[in-house]
Amino acid sequence: MAEAKKYITSDELKNHNKAGDLWISIQGKVYDVTNWAKDHPGGDIPLLALAGNDVTDAFIAYHPGTTWNKLDQFFNGYYLKDFEVTDMSKDYRKLHNEFTKMGLFEKKGHASAYLGHDSGHYQIMSSPKYNKVAQILTGNCLTGISMAWWKWTHNAHHIACNSLDHDPDLQHIPVFAVSTKFFNNMTSVFYGRKMDFDPVARFLVSYQHMTYYPVMVVARINLYVQTLLLLFNPNRKVINRGLNIMGIMVFWTWYPLLVSCLPSWEERFMFVLASFVVTAFQHIQFTLNHFSANVYVGQPHGNDWFEKQTFGSIDIACASWMDWLFGGLQFQLEHHLFPRLPRCNLRKVAPVVKDLCKKHNLPYRSLSFWEANVSTLKTLRDAALQARDLSNPMPKNLLWEAVNTHG
pLDDT tens digits for 12-66?
999 999 989 999 999 999 999 999 988 888 888 899 999 999 999 999 999 988 8
Q: Measured between alpha carbons, how far is 124 from 72 in angstroms, rounded to an integer?
A: 28
Within a domain: residue 92?
Answer: no
CA atoms in the 13 A half-sphere facing the CB of 247 = 28
User: 351 falls in which pLDDT band (50, 70, 90)?
Assistant: very high
Examine residue 201 and state whether it is found in any structural domain, yes or no: yes
pLDDT range class, residue 4, cuts 50, 70, 90: confident
Whether 67 and 161 map to the same domain: the answer is no
* Residue 239 predicted with pLDDT over 90: no
Q: Please tell me the distance from the alpha carbon of residue 349 to that of residue 104, in angstroms, as a whole number.
A: 9
Q: Are residues 50 and 140 in the same domain?
A: no
What is the CA angle 16-59-159, rounded to 5? Answer: 75
Q: Which residues pair with 22 in a beta bridge?
A: 17
Give percent helix, percent strand, percent coil of the chain, each to the nearest 5: 60, 10, 35
The answer as to whether 43 is a domain residue is: yes
Q: 38 and 142, same structural domain?
A: no
Q: Provide the angle, in degrees to the nearest 10, between the axes of the packed helices 265-288 and 241-260.
A: 130
Mention every residue, 6+ apart, whose C-beta is less than 8 A from residue 193: 187
For residue 261, how many other CB atoms are within 10 A of its CB? 10
Any domain includes 108: no
Residue 194 is given by DSSP the state E
What is the average per-residue pLDDT within 299-316?
A: 87
Helices (H), 338-368: 346-359
d(CA 350, CA 328) in angstroms, rounded, equals: 11
Domain co-membership, 208 together with 304: yes
Classify 282 as helix, strand or coil: helix
Question: Does 190 share its domain with 141?
Answer: yes
- pLDDT one-digit tens code per residue, 156-193: 999 999 999 999 999 999 999 999 999 999 999 999 99
In this structure, are 123 and 41 located in the same domain?
A: no
Percentage of the chain lying above the pLDDT 70 cut: 93
Mark whether 212 and 269 lie in a shared domain: yes
Looking at the fold, whether 267 and 345 belong to one and the same domain comes out as yes
Mean pLDDT of 344-356: 94
User: Residue 66 maps to which CATH number?
Assistant: 3.10.120.10
Alpha helices, DSSP H, located in 73-196: 87-101, 115-121, 128-135, 142-143, 147-159
Identify whether 342 is part of a domain: yes
Would residue 381 count as lying in a domain? no
* pTM, full prediction: 0.89
**pLDDT of res. 401:** 43
The residue range of the domain holding 152 is: 115-366
Tell me which residue of 16, 8, 94 sits closest to 53, measured CA to CA: 16
Identify the domain boundary among 45, 63, 84.
84
Furthest CA-CA distance within the chain: 85
Q: Residue 123 domain-assigned?
A: yes
- Count Cβ atoms within 10 A of the Cβ of residue 92 and give its class: 0-12 exposed, 13-18 middle, 19 or more buried: buried
pLDDT digits (tens, 9 = 90+) for 87-121: 999 999 999 999 999 999 887 766 566 777 887 77
User: Residue 38: what pLDDT?
Assistant: 86
